[in-house]
Chain A
Amino acid sequence: MERLDGNAAAGLLEEVFAREMTTAMETCASCGNEAVVATTHVYMGDIGTVLRCPTCEQVLMTIVHVREELHVDLSGVRRIDLR
Chain B
Amino acid sequence: MAAPRAGWQSATLRDKRTETDRAATLHLSTDEWPGHRAGQHVDVRLTAEDGYQAQRSYSIASPPEDDGDVALTVERLDDGEVSPYLVDEMAPGDMCELRGPIGGWFVWDADDGGPLLLVGGGSGVVPLMSMLRHRAALHSGVRARLLLSARSLDDALYADELHALDAGDDELDVSITLTRTAPPDWAGYARRVDRSMLEEVAWPAADRPRVYVCGPTPFVESVAAGLVDLGHDAGLVKTERFGATGS
Please name all residues of chain A whose beta carbon is closer than 8 Å to the beta carbon of B206 when the two chains form the complex.
Answer: none
- Are B103 and A20 in contact, CB atoms less than 8 angstroms apart? yes
- Are B106 and A22 in contact, CB atoms less than 8 angstroms apart? yes
B 178-224 contacts with A by CB, 8 A: 217
| B244: contacting residue among A2, A15, A49, A70, CB under 8 A | A2
Bitwise, A1-43 to B at CB < 8 A (1) or not (0) is 1111111111110110010101100000000000011110000
Band of interface residues on B: 20 to 34
- Are B247 and A49 in contact, CB atoms less than 8 angstroms apart? yes
Band of interface residues on A: 20 to 34
Binding site for B on A (CB under 8 A): 1-12, 14-15, 18, 20, 22-23, 36-39, 44-46, 49, 65, 68-70
| A5: contacting residue among B99, B241, B246, CB under 8 A | B241
| Closest A residue, CB atoms, query B3 | A70
Main secondary structure of the interface of A (DSSP, over half): mixed
CB<8 Å pairs between A and B, sample of 15: A2-B243, A7-B41, A7-B103, A7-B241, A10-B102, A15-B3, A18-B6, A22-B103, A23-B105, A37-B105, A38-B240, A44-B247, A45-B247, A68-B2, A70-B3
Binding site for A on B (CB under 8 A): 2-7, 41, 43, 57, 99-100, 102-106, 217, 238-247
Please name all residues of chain B whose beta carbon is closer than 8 Å to the beta carbon of A15 when the two chains form the complex.
Answer: 3-7
| Closest A residue, CB atoms, query B99 | A11
CA distance A1 to B241 in the complex (A): 14
| Closest A residue, CB atoms, query B5 | A15
